[in-house]
Amino acid sequence: MQLSKPFAGTLLFIATLFLASGHSLAASSAGKVQRAKGFVMAASPEQGRIRPLRAGDGIAAGETISTGPNSTVQLDFNDGSHVALKPNSRFQIEAFVVRKEKPEEERSFFSLIKGGLRAVTGLIGKRKPANYRMKTAVATIGIRGTDYELRLTDQGLYAGVTPGTDSRIVIRNQAGIRELVAGQYAWVKGPDQPIIPLAVRPPQLGEKPQICK
């Protein structure tokens, strides 16, 4: 498969960044790939390499998952949560810890670096919502038992909560806080810009990924 020059350059940049990094991130099992279509890669800071991802492969805390053009992947995490990445996306598993006996020590911290996703939270988000976080360059997303979508574009962050679910998210940035419930959408232009409610689902969110549970 021949990669487009921009995407190949992105992968090379990720690999170089991790190899040059002096940080030590302990890779611990976070879950597995439920399904993958097209060009899907994981960059590991601990191993200093990029590997292709296929259905059934494990994923680990600290890894950055990237999808190419016309490529998608669903990640199933060990607490029962799911993340489906859209094409041309980059997503980092910053920290993932499940400790059923000590919920205060659990962590489900992610970062959407590029592109879009749909996320359905699991045990960690249900037991202690403060232990769940999805960061972007524009705003941070907190949850209250949630099924939601995000898309990061050159025009800012678009967010929405899946209609017909008992879900809500809290969007935070330097300009303020806004809560969205099922069927509500918002747009944030920048980290210091107000969070603008939208009357309908914005086309910038693109096609909604299906989640296989």
Handedness of CA 46, 31, 148, 67 (dihedral sign): positive
* Structural domains of the chain ordered from first start: 5-205 (2.60.120.1440)
Q: Token match 């806080």: residue?
A: 177
pLDDT digits (tens, 9 = 90+) for 126-152: 888 999 999 999 999 999 878 999 999
Q: How far apart are CA 139 and CA 64, in angstroms?
A: 19
pLDDT digits (tens, 9 = 90+) for 74-118: 999 999 999 999 999 999 999 999 988 888 899 999 999 999 999
Residue 25, pLDDT > 50, answer no
CA angle (184, 188, 193) in 5-degree steps: 135
Percentage of residues of the chain with pLDDT beyond 70 = 87
Dihedrals phi, psi of 119, to nearest 5 degrees: -130, 140
pLDDT at 46: 74
Considering only 16-20, 51-55, 204-208, which range has the smallest mean pLDDT? 16-20
CA angle (53, 55, 209) in 5-degree steps: 90
Average pLDDT over residues 178-191: 98
Handedness of CA 136, 123, 205, 7 (dihedral sign): positive
Q: What share of the chain is helix, strand, coil (3-state, %, to 5)?
A: 15, 45, 40
Long-range CB contacts for residues 159-166, cutoff 8 Å, separation at least 24: 159/185, 159/186, 159/187, 159/188, 160/184, 160/185, 160/186, 160/201, 160/202, 160/205, 161/185, 162/118, 162/208
